[in-house]
Amino acid sequence: MSKKYIIEGGYPLKGTIKPNGNKNAALPIIAASLLTDEEVILRNIPEIEDVNIMLEIASQLGVTVTHLSKNVVSIKGSISTTDINQTLGKRIRTSILFAAPLLARAGEVSLPPPGGDVIGRRRLDTHFIALSELGCRIEISNNYRLTANKLVGKELFLDEASVTGTENAVMTAVLASGTTVIMNAASEPHVQDLCNMLNSMGAGITGIGSNILTITGVDKLHGTDYTIGTDFMEVGSLIGLAAVTHGEIEITDAQPENMRMSRMVFGKLGIRWETDGKSIFVPGHQELKVMPDYGGMIPKIDDSPWPGFPPDLVSIAVVTATQVEGTVLIFEKMFESRLFFVDKLVSMGAKIILCDPHRCVITGPSRLRGLELTSPDIRAGMALVIAALCAEGKSTIQNVVQIERGYERLPERLSALGAKISVEE
């Protein structure tokens, strides 16, 4: 029987917390570690389910994975197979990122359709178009089979700024002959982290942080010792959590430079915070009021590719808005099923109108009451945890394996801040 969280709401959270390493950086960086036979040491790697699956796939492909200490992993060795395990590959969307290192090192890969969160259609066309332009042949049946005799650099214009599509193209290009230019590239902090890690292995990538990446192919990459950046999605979750519980939280190693747009968006909900070096301090008992647009218009919160508001924080913004005085429109542009969890918030007492799969109107503040809930995906699951912590009474959250795919030791770390949360099997 799967475990569940039991949460007693109504307690302000106070204290200091350090966010984990960026899950969305760790996953492609694990795949990139297979671009060399030499040892790659990864630090600040989150110990979560998605990372465990990626490491298990890497081990299944033949490399040796060693846990050196807490949040530190060594990956080293040769690839012994190019067939990605069916069961493992279907459990996580980023299994497709092993395509690049296997193509670059062995010239072929066979992988099942990747899994991951069910938050709408998540097309793979950008991956396949980019890889085919670099010299890959693709056969699609029950599985995907990709082969390449020689990878050659080329000018690419991606049909969308896909994060994982960009990452696969970059990893394929680093060992291709010649120069590759990727336009309309994703530029999220986790894409930057991957590019910086590859450069530390000897790759030649410029334009990092922009939407035009230039990759000069090299013959060989070497090992590295690399520290993964902070998970800014977790930082945003903790900011929302502090505000709605009327708590007072200091988030260390928060990398505030990655929170500029989030600061503007949370500011529309009346949430303020202070920065001190790498730390963010969310003061307690803020007056949470929606800030109207000029002319008194209802403001809109919407997501977009970086440097826009991250889609993974939309769920957090939704639950936060339920505790804010005023009305706001939230427009989720990128995934048509992301907002389908709001019915659970409505059952808890939230005043939300779901206009269509992409838009909802929220009027607050609402007194939420504890309820029996089920986590549908990582970010909605975290949003339900936040809702339960500010609700009256007790909530039970089932299917927490979804939450633990993205948040390490969440009950333990929130309990240290004063949350009344326990785990039952």
Residues carrying an active site annotation: 117
**In whole angstroms, how far apart are CA 102 and each of 95, 106, 411?**
12, 5, 37
The token pair at 127 is 């991956």
Contact 222, 198 (CB under 8 A): no
**In whole angstroms, how far apart are CA 353 and each of 214, 316, 393?**
45, 17, 24
Q: CA 13, CA 389: separation in Å to the nearest integer? A: 9
Q: CA 235, CA 18: separation in Å to the nearest integer? A: 9
Q: CA 316, CA 248: separation in Å to the nearest integer? A: 18
Q: CA 328, CA 331: separation in Å to the nearest integer? A: 10
Q: CA 249, CA 239: separation in Å to the nearest integer? A: 8
Burial of 227 (0-12, 13-18, 19+ CB in 10 A): middle
Contact 119, 337 (CB under 8 A): yes
Phi-psi label, residue 178: left if phi above 0, alpha if psi -120 to 50, beta otherwise: left
**β 372-374/274-276 pair status:** unpaired
Contact 369, 392 (CB under 8 A): yes
| Angle of CA points 157, 158, 161, to nearest 5° | 130
**In whole angstroms, how far apart are CA 407 and each of 47, 129, 286, 343?**
8, 33, 26, 23
